[in-house]
Amino acid sequence: MVWYDSTGLGTAGSLFAFNGSSWSAVGGSAASQSSSSELSNLSLSTAVSGNQLTVELKNKDGNDPSVGSPVTISFRSDTASNGSYTMATVTGAVSLTISSGSNLGMSSGIAGYLYVYAINNAGTVELAIVNGLRDEGSLQDSTAEGGSGGADSADVLYAAAARSGKAVRLLGRLNIVETTAGTWASNATEISVAPFAKTFTLPATASSSNGLVNYSTTGIAAGQFGDLTSITLQPGEYDWTLALQYVSNGATTTSTVGGGISMVSGNSSSGLIQGQTALYTEKSTTNTTYNGVSLSGMGLVVSSPTTYYLKSLAGNSTTNLQIGWSWKFRKIK
C-alpha cells in the first residue's frame, strides 16, 4: 500500500509505503517524480471554420492550460547524444491552424489519420501535424505550414514555423475525411490522445460505384480496354476490391468481358495481369443474363500520389450490353 501525504500529518508531499505493520517514506517527494513518457493533464480539440482546420492543446477539462492547471509534456533531450529527458510545462493557449487548400497529403473522400505532435522549442511547446508517424526517439525538423494553402505533402511535419533538430512528442491523432482534400469543412470524427496502437486498419474506404448503364455510354469501344473511372491515392498501403457486372439487355454477341486495375489510362492493357490485377469471363449472349468478375488485392504500396484506373473490356460488340461496377480501397498503413 502506498500513501501520498498531502495533509502535513507527516511530511507533506512525501510518498509512504506500508509494510504490514508500519509506514515508511519511499522515493522522496511526489512532486519530484517524473517520467520520460509523461503527458499530464492534456487533451486535444479541433475546429473547422472558413475551410481551415485548427488544432488546440487543452487541459483535461477542455480548457486552455493555465498556471493553476498546467499541461506537462516530457521530451527527449535536444542533444542527440544525450540519453536523458526534459519536462516542459504549458500554462497558456497553444494551437495550430491548417490553411484552406493545404491537404497534408490526404485524398478527397478518403478518411485518414493525422498525427499531432508537440515540438520542444527551447522550452516553449509548439504544435505540429503530419500525415504519418514520426520517430520520437530522434530529433526532427518541421516545415512552416505557410498559411497560404501549400502544405500538401504526406510525411512532412508541418508547424507554424520551421524548426531544425528539435525534440518532438506524439500527443494524439485525428481521424478525418473531407469531400475535397484541403477544404476543411468537416471536423474530425475521432480524436485520440496518446498512447494508442500504432499498427491498425483505418475504418474507412475510398470507393466508387455505378449502377447499370448502357455500355455505349462509357465511351469504350468494342474490343478495346477503356477507363470506367479513376481515383488518386496518397502515399500509404492499401487493400482493394473491384466488381464488374455485365448484363445482356437484349440479345448480344459479346463473347468476352472483364477488366481490372491499372496505372495507365486509355485503351492500353499495361499492368493488367490475368488473375492478379485483371480478370475475364465468357459473356452469355442470351437476353437478361448476368455475368461478372470480382477481384481483390492486398498490400498495394503507394509511395507518391498515384492515379489508378478501373478498366473494362467487352469483346467484339457492345450492342445491348449493360455494365455496372464498384471498387473500394482501404488504407491500412
Tens of pLDDT along 243-259? 999 999 988 888 899 99
Please check whether residue 24 is in contact with residue 16, taking contact to mean a CB–CB distance below 8 angstroms: yes
Please check whether residue 170 is in contact with residue 76, taking contact to mean a CB–CB distance below 8 angstroms: no
Taking residues 212-230, what's their average pLDDT? 92
- Look at residue 242 in the predicted model and tell me its pLDDT: 93
CA dihedral (58, 62, 63, 65) in degrees, to 10, reads -30
Distance, CA of 228 to CA of 260 (rounded, Å): 10
The radius of gyration computed from the CA coordinates of the chain, to the nearest angstrom, equals 28
Closest CA to 274 of 236, 305, 313, 247: 313
- Look at residue 9 in the predicted model and tell me its pLDDT: 44
pLDDT at 31 > cutoff 60: no
Which cell is 56 given? 488546440
Enumerate domains of the chain plus CATH numbers: 2-32 (no CATH), 39-193 (no CATH), 205-331 (2.60.120)
Tens of pLDDT along 261-284? 999 999 888 888 887 888 989 888
φ and ψ of 61, to 5 deg? -90, 0
Closest CA to 53 of 150, 188, 179, 172: 188
Is residue 285 helix, strand or coil?
coil
Tell me the pLDDT of the chain averaged across its residues: 87
Taking residues 131-154, what's their average pLDDT? 92
